[in-house]
Structure 1
Amino acid sequence: MVTIPYAVMILAVYLLLIPVVHSSEMLPLNRLWILCGVLLAQTIVYGFIRRRTYIKICVGFAQTTKKARISMGEHLRTLSMGFFSKRDAGDLSTVLLRDYTEMENLASGLIPQVSVILVRLIISIIVLSAFDWRMVLAVILTIPMSLPFAIISYKRIGKISDKLLKAQQEAASRILEYVGGIQTLKAFNQAGEHFRILKETFLNQSKHSKRMELAAAPIGMIGRFVLNCGIGIVMLCGVWLLTGGDMSPFYYIVFLLLSLNIYEPIMTVFAFIADYARTNGSAQRIYILNNEKPLLEPKNSLPISDTEIIFKDVSFSYGDKEVLHNISFSIPPKGLTALVGPSGSGKSTIVKLVARFWDVDKGEIIIGDVPVTKIKNDDLLSKISMVFQDVYLFNDTIESNIRMGNSSAAMDEVVEVAKKAACHQFISALPQGYNTLVGEGGSTLSGGEKQRISIARALLKNAPIVLLDEATASLDPENEILIQQAISALVENKTVIVIAHRLQSIRNAQQIIVLDNGGIREKGSHDTLLKKGGMYAHLWEEQSRAGSWRLMDSIVN
Structure 2
Amino acid sequence: MIRMLLRVLGHEYAQPVRRAVALMTATALVEGLSYALLVPVLRALFGSTPEDAWPWLVAFGAAVAVYAVLRYVSDRSGFLAGTTLLRGTYHRLGDHLARLPIGWYDSGRLGEVSVLASRGVLQAMSVIAHLLAPFISACVTPLTIVAVMLAFNWQMGLAALAAVPIVAAIQMRTGRSMAATDTERHERDHEATGRVIEYLQAQPVLRAGGRTAERFRVLDDSLQEVQRASRRTALSALPGVVGLALAVQTMFTVVLALGAYLALGGDIGAAEILAILVLAARCADPLLSLSDIGGKLRGARYELARLEAVLRTEPLPEPAEPIQPVRHDLEFESVAFRQGDRTVIDNASLSVPEGQRLAVVGPSGAGKSTLLQLIARFYDVNAGAVRVGGVDVRAVNTEALMAQIAIVFQDVYLFDGTIEENVRLGRPDADEAEVRAAATAARLDEVIERLPGGWAANVGEGGALLSGGERQRVSIARALLKNAPIVLLDEVTSALDPVNEAAVHEGIERLMAGRTVVMVAHRMRTVQRADHVVFLDGGRIVEKGTHDELLRRGGRYADFWNAGRCGVITLPTDEDGNAVEPSKVDGSVLS
What SS is found at the alignment partner of 1:130?
helix
What SS is found at the alignment partner of 2:249?
helix
1:474 corresponds to: 495
What amino acid does structure 2 have at the position aligned with 1:243?
L
CA distance in 1, matches of 2:272, 2:505: 95
Question: Is 1:3–2:32 an aligned residue pair?
Answer: yes
Of stretches 305-314 and 142-151 in structure 1, the one that deviates more from structure 2 is: 142-151
User: 1:265-344 residue pairs with structure 2 within 5 A?
Assistant: 265-344=286-365
1:352 corresponds to: 373
What SS is found at the alignment partner of 1:216?
helix
Shift of 1:406: 1.3
Contact 1:389 1:469 in 2 (8 A): yes
Of stretches 432-441 and 185-194 in structure 1, the one that deviates more from structure 2 is: 185-194
Shift of 1:146: 4.0
1:150 corresponds to: 171
Of 427, 443, 448, 2:448 maps to 427
TM-score (norm 2): 0.87
User: 1:404-423 residue pairs with structure 2 within 5 A?
Assistant: 404-423=425-444
1:74 corresponds to: 95
CA distance in 1, matches of 2:44, 2:483: 86
Of stretches 381-390 and 188-197 in structure 1, the one that deviates more from structure 2 is: 188-197
1:18 corresponds to: 47
Of stretches 285-294 and 88-97 in structure 1, the one that deviates more from structure 2 is: 88-97
Question: Is 1:364–2:393 an aligned residue pair?
Answer: no
Shift of 1:390: 1.9
1:22 corresponds to: none
User: 1:426-505 residue pairs with structure 2 within 5 A?
Assistant: 426-505=447-526
Of 204, 216, 223, 2:225 maps to 204
1:128 corresponds to: 149
What amino acid does structure 2 have at the position aligned with 1:14?
R
Shift of 1:475: 2.4
Of stretches 209-218 and 60-69 in structure 1, the one that deviates more from structure 2 is: 209-218
What amino acid does structure 1 have at the position aligned with 2:429?
S
CA distance in 1, matches of 2:338, 2:527: 28
1:214 corresponds to: 235
1:23 corresponds to: none
What amino acid does structure 2 have at the position aligned with 1:93?
S
2:50 corresponds to: 27
User: 1:540-555 residue pairs with structure 2 within 5 A?
Assistant: 540-547=561-568
Unaligned runs of 5+ in 1: 20-25
1:518 corresponds to: 539
Shift of 1:472: 1.3
Of stretches 428-437 and 348-357 in structure 1, the one that deviates more from structure 2 is: 428-437
Of stretches 72-81 and 137-146 in structure 1, the one that deviates more from structure 2 is: 137-146
Contact 1:393 1:442 in 2 (8 A): yes
Of stretches 541-550 and 212-221 in structure 1, the one that deviates more from structure 2 is: 541-550
Shift of 1:200: 3.1
**Per the alignment, do residues 322 and 110 of structure 1 end up closer, same or farther by CA in structure 2, a change over 3 Å counting?**
same
**What CA deviation, in whole Å up to 9, does each residue of 1:449-482 have, x standing for no partner?**
2222222222221111111100111223344334
User: 1:156-167 residue pairs with structure 2 within 5 A?
Assistant: 156-167=177-188
**What CA deviation, in whole Å up to 9, does each residue of 1:105-133 have, x standing for no partner?**
22222222232343323322222222332
What amino acid does structure 2 have at the position aligned with 1:11?
P
What amino acid does structure 1 have at the position aligned with 2:50?
L
Shift of 1:548: 7.2
What SS is found at the alignment partner of 1:139?
helix
Contact 1:219 1:271 in 2 (8 A): no
Contact 2:487 2:515 in 1 (8 A): yes
What amino acid does structure 2 have at the position aligned with 1:107?
I
2:123 corresponds to: 102
Unaligned runs of 5+ in 2: 1-29, 573-587
Q: Equivalent pairs: percent with the same residue?
A: 31
Shift of 1:417: 2.2
What amino acid does structure 1 have at the position aligned with 2:193?
A
Of 185, 192, 199, 1:178 maps to 199
Contact 2:571 2:590 in 1 (8 A): no
**Per the alignment, do residues 358 and 508 of structure 1 end up closer, same or farther by CA in structure 2, a change over 3 Å counting?**
same
**Per the alignment, do residues 458 and 190 of structure 1 end up closer, same or farther by CA in structure 2, a change over 3 Å counting?**
farther
What amino acid does structure 1 have at the position aligned with 2:444?
C
Shift of 1:498: 0.8
Shift of 1:549: 11
**Per the alignment, do residues 448 and 347 of structure 1 end up closer, same or farther by CA in structure 2, a change over 3 Å counting?**
same
CA distance in 1, matches of 2:530, 2:590: 34
2:80 corresponds to: 59
What SS is found at the alignment partner of 2:477?
helix
CA distance in 1, matches of 2:465, 2:177: 47
Contact 1:355 1:381 in 2 (8 A): yes
Contact 1:490 1:496 in 2 (8 A): no
Of stretches 301-310 and 41-50 in structure 1, the one that deviates more from structure 2 is: 41-50
**Per the alignment, do residues 549 and 267 of structure 1 end up closer, same or farther by CA in structure 2, a change over 3 Å counting?**
closer
CA distance in 2, matches of 1:66, 1:196: 40
Of 397, 403, 425, 1:382 maps to 403
CA distance in 2, matches of 1:526, 1:77: 39
**Per the alignment, do residues 455 and 271 of structure 1 end up closer, same or farther by CA in structure 2, a change over 3 Å counting?**
same
State how many pairs are aligned: 547
Contact 1:79 1:294 in 2 (8 A): yes
**What CA deviation, in whole Å up to 9, does each residue of 1:64-110 have, x standing for no partner?**
11211210111111111121126422211222222222222222222
**What CA deviation, in whole Å up to 9, does each residue of 1:189-211 have, x standing for no partner?**
33443333333333322332333
Shift of 1:550: 11
CA distance in 2, matches of 1:263, 1:495: 75
**Per the alignment, do residues 268 and 214 of structure 1 end up closer, same or farther by CA in structure 2, a change over 3 Å counting?**
same
Shift of 1:286: 1.3
What SS is found at the alignment partner of 2:308?
helix
2:208 corresponds to: 187
Shift of 1:45: 4.1
Shift of 1:285: 1.0
Shift of 1:9: 1.8
CA distance in 1, matches of 2:502, 2:548: 21
CA distance in 2, matches of 1:101, 1:418: 40
